[in-house]
Structures are given as C-alpha cells and as structure tokens.
Amino acid sequence: MLNTNTTTLDTQPFTESKIREIVAAQRRFFRSGVTLPLRWRIEQLKRLKSAVIAHEQEFEEALARDLGRSRVEAYLCDIGPIIVEINEMLRGLRRWARPECHFSGFMCFPSLVTKVYKMPYGVSLVMSPFNFPILLTIGVVAAAMAGGNTVVIKSSSKSAASTAALRKFFAEVFPPEYVTLIDGGHDVADLCLAQRFDKIFYTGSPAVGKHVLAEAAKNLTPVALELGGETGNWCVVRKDADLKDAARKIAFFKITNAGQVCININQVAVAEEVAEPFIEELKKAFVSQIGEHAEQNPEYPRLITTGAYDKCARMADEYRDRIVFGGTGIRETCRYAPTLIYPVGVDEPIVQQELFCPLLPVVPFRDAEVDALMETVADREHPLAMYLFTKDMRWANRVMQTQQYGGGCINEVCVHMMVKGVPFNGTGHSGMGAYHGEWGFREFTHPQTVLKGRTRFNLSLREHPYGGKAGETKMKLLRLFER
C-alpha cells in the first residue's frame, strides 16, 4: 500500500548523493513489483486526477504568478487537458496493456503461441519546461504511471511558482519512492542526467535536447524528446484562403501564452496577392481579442523572465522599420504586444530560428510559386507543427503527406494536439517519440516477445546434419514453411 500522508518538504538543496538515493529508492520500489498490476496503476491514476481537481486553484495561482495567465487560459491550456488525458487513460489502459497473442508459424512448430507483453521501463526521468509547467509535467507523469514506471521529475526553475506548487502537490499525493519532484537549475538537471535511468522524457529546446541525448547515450538510456523545432513552425496562407477566418485563428494562437508555445506559428507566409488585406484582418483580430494595447491588458500572458522580454524587444528593434502592428511592451510586467513584421524575406535570420515570443514575421510569396516555398521549408530543420490555409484541398493534402513535421492542421491551428487517440510528436530537430493517450503508454513501455515452447513433437529440422539426403529434405521443408 502507498503511504499517502502529507509529506513535509525537505528544503535542503539537491546534491548528487541525494539524487542518487532517490533513484535507488525508486529502483527498489519498482523491483518490488508494486507498479505492475493494472488495477494498482488505475488506482494511482484516479488518485492523480482527484488531486489535480483538488489543487486546481493553487495551480491557477501559480500560472498567474509565472506567466500572467488568466483563470480561463490556465484551465484551457494546462489543467483541463490533464483531466481529459487521465480520463482517456482510465478508459483505455486495460485494453492497451493486454498482451498480444501471435501465431508463431510453422517454422516454430510445435511452439505455436507467442505473446508480446507491454512492460514498463522502470525508473523514468521526466524533464518539463516552463511554458506549460503543469500540463507538461503532470501529463507526462500520467503516461509514465500508466506504463507502470516510477517517476523522478526535474521541473523548470524558470517557472518557480509552478515548480513549488508541483513539488508540494506530488509530495502530498505520492511517496517519493514512486513519484518525486526535484527542483533547481541546470546544475541540478545535469546531476539528474548523470544517474542511470531506464527512460528519459524531455520537453524543451533543441539545444538542450542534444545535451540530454548525449548524456543519456552514456548509459544507452532510451529517450523521448519533444522539441520546438530549430527553425520554427510555418503557417502558409494562400490567395484562395478565407482571410478573416485565418486571421482570427492565427491571432488567437499568437496571443496564447504570449507566443511561448512549442507548436505556435513562428512565421506566416502569405500570398503577396492577398498580403495587405490579410494583414488588415490580422490587426483587427488582435484588437478584437486582446485590445489595441495588449501589454496593458491584465488578461494577456507575459514572457517568463526579463531576459526573455529583453530578447524579444531587441529582435523587434532590429526590425523596427518594418513593424506594422504592435512593437510595444512593458518591461516591468514582461508583457510585449503581439507584433507583426512585414515584409520579411524567406532567408532572413528572424525566420531561421525559433522565436518563442509574440513576434510574427510575415513572409510574402507569389501564390504560383508556393511549391518553391515549400521546398525551402523542407530544406530546413523539421518543424514540430505546420499549418495551411487554403481551399485547394488537393494541394494541401499533398503537402501534408510529403513534408516532414510533427503534426499540423489545414484551415485550423493547434487543435490537432487536442484530439483523443492520436500522437503528439516531433521528428528530427523537433523531437523523437510520441505521447498522449495510448501513444504515451507505448512511449513508457517496451514490447517483450515471449514464445511458449513445447517438450513434445519437436522436429529436428533446425538441427544438424545439413548435408546429404537429410539436408535436401530439410531444404524442401524450409522452402515450404517460408511461403
């Protein structure tokens, strides 16, 4: 039985020896077999869901302190999706974990039955980011728990209020030998990576993702990476698109979390034939949704640190002569308004890096040359998301089926990651692995193939001798069985 009594938090800093002890305790707990039964996992997921609901207000307050999120945005983007995710796991876990039964084939006669068991990796490390600190911690932890693993969490030091709330939360709900949170800066993260884990799940930037992968390689630890994409996510608006609809959706998404979203639109390419009216629609959409001076609106989220604000402001100043909307901010509150920069060339530096802020470069292109634009996009690092706005479904479907990216939408933004039963993933510089629902369960389990042998009627087909008449007979049988 789990001890669910409220735990007094240890305020001492995490050292190498302390982290080693935590991992060792989790390994002992895992090897005891407690986490393996499905009934037990389901009980823990129910406990997790109830605790999230009970701590909803604390999480909302933490998100407000870290990111300036309103109550509605905090629930929409962090808390609500966790409950949906856990509900999907509770409904599907027994089915997902059921061993697969396979016919072994005549080559294996008389052993005709082979099973594939979905086994947990063991002790997992979940490294979560600052931009959605509640969702991208608890959501991944839930997948690890569903798979039957124990979990060590290293959450972001940038979202300090959320990290503090999460540490208190997990200490109250689960014992540290099952789930525990470690806080601290990059030095503590490296102390965690120095330990031998059985699975690592990291969400964050490609630069840090490379470091995580390199450290994991020292122990040959399997890794899942959810990254933002080194050259950012493209949105393409063709001349036949519904401009008002596209502008409304793009504005909503760029406002969300002040652009600090791994699948957000990094730059929008617009057919030059409709670029001017599109920009006017986009301006109207921003004003309608967040006001003419978003930085003064308390509902508008803020950038995570003054450092992030300064980086955003410096880049905006570099393109000051091309800012057609926004370009203002308040450093004291770290709020920088949604900012349109137009026109921007497809090869300029601002569209060859992940921005992670409210700046939105607008790249004009001739609609007849859209395929050349898509070739340029394909030549760059794979994005985590891609968005197309057009009435030409034949073209859109062809692009979506030939480009390399994590996921995306046609005539919509971001909601593909909210669909139940589908994976959320990246490829190349936007990540590896996948999760959400059953895909998260798969990410935190590995398939073990077990053939059940027989002690009678075993053929000597595989045994020597291979020459002479016996060999010829065996060859005939082998060819027959392999058909």
Q: What is the reported pTM? A: 0.94
Q: How does pLDDT run across 366-383, given as a tens digit for each residue?
A: 999 999 999 999 999 999
- Residue ranges, comma separated, of all CATH 3.40.309.10 domains in the chain are 234-380+385-420
Which one-letter DSSP state was computed for residue 76?
A: I
Decide if 144 contacts 89 (C-beta within 8 A): no
pLDDT at site 409: 98
List, for residues 167-181, the tens digit of each pLDDT value. Answer: 999 999 999 999 999
Model pLDDT, residue 463: 86
Task: Using pLDDT thresholds of 50, 70 and 90, give the confidence band for residue 8.
Answer: low
Kindly state the helix (H) or strand (E) to which residue 471 belongs, with its residue range.
Answer: helix 468-481
Active site residues: 226, 262
Q: φ, ψ for residue 362 (rounded to 5)?
A: -115, 120
Three-state DSSP string of 258-290: HHCCCCCCCEEEEECCCHHHHHHHHHHHHHHHH
Residues 6+ apart with CB under 8 A from 53: 83
Nearest Cα residue to 138 out of 61, 73, 71, 203? 203
Q: Where in the chain is the domain with CATH 3.40.605.10?
A: 16-229+434-446
Give me the pLDDT at residue 67, please.
Answer: 97
Q: Token pair for residue 300? A: 């508008």
Contact 79/59 with Cβ under 8 angstroms? yes
Residue 9: per-residue pLDDT: 65
Tokens of 179: 């789930």
**Segment (H or E) for 188:** helix 186-193
Helix 135-146 to helix 80-97 angle (10° resolution) is 10
Confidence band of 7 (pLDDT split at 50, 70, 90): low
State how far the Cα of 102 lies from the Cα of 190, in Å rounded to an integer.
Answer: 43
What's the CATH number for 16-229+434-446? Answer: 3.40.605.10
Kindly state the tokens that stand for 476: 């005939």
Which listed CATH number (1.10.287.620, 3.40.50.300, 3.30.110.30, 3.40.309.10) goes with 234-380+385-420? 3.40.309.10
259: alpha, beta or left, given left = phi > 0 and alpha = psi -120 to 50? left
For the segment 415-458, what is each residue's pLDDT rounded down to a tens digit?
A: 999 999 999 999 999 999 999 999 999 999 999 999 999 888 88
